[in-house]
Amino acid sequence: MFSAVAKTLGQLSDPPIRRVIGKVLGLAILGYVLFVVLVYLLIGWLAGLSGWLEGLAQFGGVLGAMVIAWLLFPSVAAAIAGIFSDEIIDAVEAKHYPDLPPGKPVPVLQSVFDGLKLAAIAIIANVLALPFLLVFPIYVLITWGVNGWLLGREYFEMVAFRRMDRASARTLHRHHNRTFTIAGVIIAVCLTIPIVNLLAPVLGAAFMVHVAQNVLNHTRTATQAVKPMA
């Protein structure tokens, strides 16, 4: 796991990764600003207030929107990463695993659909966890755990679906669920750190390539070590 982190951070300066980071940052910032502005305008229109009361209502609404956007960012990040997953994975495999045959690109619409489906599930899970905000340390642990499992599965599938059928990929995930969940928790923690969370979708996809390859190599080694009886 530590070697996967080191390899991921060491590739941040590569041109293909920098290009994807620029795209993800642009989309994330644009989406964040549009969401806050929309809430600001909507509250002003619905409130029907005037003067300082309207300003107070809009200020409270914008503050609430910023908090909601921060809480839901892990869910949205998975969908964003899905759009650019092939570019990220290709760059990592070309540098660190050049002997691998070319992967089968996942259709863009399928990637977006999978990302949106996971985002919807994660949003529901995070909303259900909101009552635990009253005990913030417990809330943080719950959200890291829930998002860790969801993100671990999503990012693994981004990588695995390029090289194996869905049934085989999900069987592999089930057998190594703990490893991928720990990797997902690391991604989820990054998504809660300001500034770092803007890079986390790219870091997560690159990181999961190394985690998945480590699991596959371990699986091959274990299989070869079990010889049939004569």
pLDDT of residue 109: 75
Of the two residues 61 and 147, the one the predictor is more confident about is 147
What is the value of pTM for the model shown?
0.75
Angle between helix 177-190 and 196-225 (nearest 10): 170
Q: What is the pLDDT of residues 12-65, one digit of tens each?
A: 888 988 888 888 778 777 877 777 777 777 766 666 555 666 666 667 767 776
pLDDT of residue 73: 65
Q: What is the pLDDT of residues 173-209, one digit of tens each?
A: 899 999 999 999 998 888 777 777 778 888 888 999 9
pLDDT of residue 119: 67
- The one-character DSSP state at 14 is S
**% residues pLDDT > 70 (the chain):** 74
127, 181, 178: which is closest to 154 by C-alpha?
A: 181
User: Computed over its alpha carbons, how large is the radius of gyration of the chain?
Assistant: 20
211, 225, 141: which is closest to 178 by C-alpha?
A: 211
Segments making up each domain of the chain, as ranges: 2-225
pLDDT of residue 226: 46
Which tokens belong to 39?
A: 């809430």
Q: Which of 25-29, 79-83, 139-143 has the lowest mean pLDDT?
A: 79-83
pLDDT of residue 176: 92
pLDDT of residue 183: 92
Q: Residue 155 in contact with residue 205, Cβ under 8 Å?
A: yes
Model confidence at 96: pLDDT above 80? yes
